[in-house]
Amino acid sequence: TLYGDTCGGLALIGDLFKTEVYDFAKYINAKFDQCIIPVNIILKEPSAELRFDQKDSDSLPKYEVLDVILNRYLIDNESVDSIYLNFEKDIVDKVLNLYFKNEYKRRQGAPIVKVSKKTFGFELSMPILNNMI
């Protein structure tokens, strides 16, 4: 959410997919053998919390699906046609449309610490008006 979870001076986990954030939280708890990250946070269903009882799953595919599609397209440079072979076309189209439509939000986000092959920072940025022209 713009000016919500994207606020701050440095996005330490901004280069991680949502599923990686959950895995990282579980890893931290296991590594230190205690609940440094409260379990109720890890188990809480993701939500932008813009309205009562809203869940991300109301408008998005599960993050296990969404993250795989984005990873294959953005990081592995897989073609859309190749991704269609493993996922419903409508879901792939929706995920990629949302990715491109929200470029303006990424442009306003805090700098990202790079931990992957390609980051959601400038390496993957598109001109904001790219799809408008």
CA distance 98 to 85: 20
pLDDT band at 57 (very low <50, low <70, confident <90, very high): confident
Q: Is pLDDT at 51 greater than 90 in this prediction?
A: no
Of 112, 118, 113, nearest to 78 by C-alpha is 118
pLDDT single digits (tens) 2-29? 666 667 778 888 889 999 999 999 999 9
pLDDT band at 70 (very low <50, low <70, confident <90, very high): very high
Place 128 in a pLDDT band, splitting at 50, 70 and 90.
very low
pTM over 0.75: yes
Q: Two tokens at 87?
A: 């996922």
Write down the pLDDT at residue 120: 63
pLDDT at residue number 132: 52
Q: What is the pLDDT of residue 31?
A: 97
Give all domains of the chain, ordered by start, each with its CATH number: 18-124 (3.40.50.620)
Among the listed residues 109, 120, 84, 118, the one whose alpha carbon sits nearest the alpha carbon of residue 8: 109
